Copies of this chain bind each other. A is one copy, B any other.
Amino acid sequence: MSLRHALLAVLTAEPMTGYQLVKYFDGTVVFMWSAPHSQIYPELQRMLKGGLLEAEVVPRGRHAEKRIYSISGAGRAELRRWAEETSPYQSERDPHRLKAAYMELASPEAAREQLNAHIRHYRERLGIWERIVEDIDDRRIPLLRQRLRTHPADQYELIVEAKRFAFQGEIDRARMEIDWAGKGLALLDRLHRSAGASGPVAASSAVEGGA
């Protein structure tokens, strides 16, 4: 139940509306977790009902309202419990690794294109995550600044370094995936050059996709 804890964790920086939480979690890669609004709103309702959150209803314009959620004592306790406990590991299940294992089923062009797409994907993610680490270092992330404002100074370094460390993991992962796919392209080159045979294929596997 990580969505619940991700929501609780974000709300310890400052109270906010479901919409604001949606903006943080929906469709972005900025966080360690993503979720669409169709998942967030019901979860907030459940958490409210469960006493993990409190909601303040405030007017918005003349006819509309919004709810500002804040974490309750029970919510903080639950978050703490989650932080202390070691979570289980389930088996890796990566569709791209699976497909790589059965490369022989695809045409060489398709196999190459998939590895290039892998590289493009992780290069993009890499750029995003590197940028975030810079933003963390320069304290350019509003929510982080807010969190530092609401926490004692002797925790600043740990709070910042923890975020940095987590995103560094994503960066390491992206680099690893790029290297791995590169090895796959080299492998295809080697096999198709040596096989030389009747393939309608040729072409070297220069890694495509810049950025």
Contact = CB atoms under 8 A, between A and B. Distances in A.
B208 A121 contact: no
B202 A159 contact: yes
A187 interface: yes
Contacts of A100: 162, 165-166, 169
A159 to B, nearest CB: 5
Nearest to A174: B92
A21 to B, nearest CB: 10
A17 interface: no
A103 B16 CA distance: 22
Interface in A102-132: 102-107, 110, 113-114, 117, 121, 125, 128, 132
B98 A113 contact: no
Interface string A184-211: 1001000100010100011111111111
A95 interface: yes
Interface in A130-184: 132, 135-136, 140-144, 146-147, 150-152, 154-155, 157-159, 161-163, 165-170, 172-173, 176-177, 179-180, 183-184
27 contacts: A10-B208, A13-B206, A28-B210, A28-B211, A30-B210, A32-B93, A79-B206, A83-B105, A84-B107, A86-B117, A89-B121, A100-B165, A103-B162, A103-B165, A104-B158, A132-B209, A132-B211, A135-B209, A141-B209, A143-B207, A144-B208, A146-B207, A154-B197, A159-B205, A163-B208, A168-B180, A169-B180
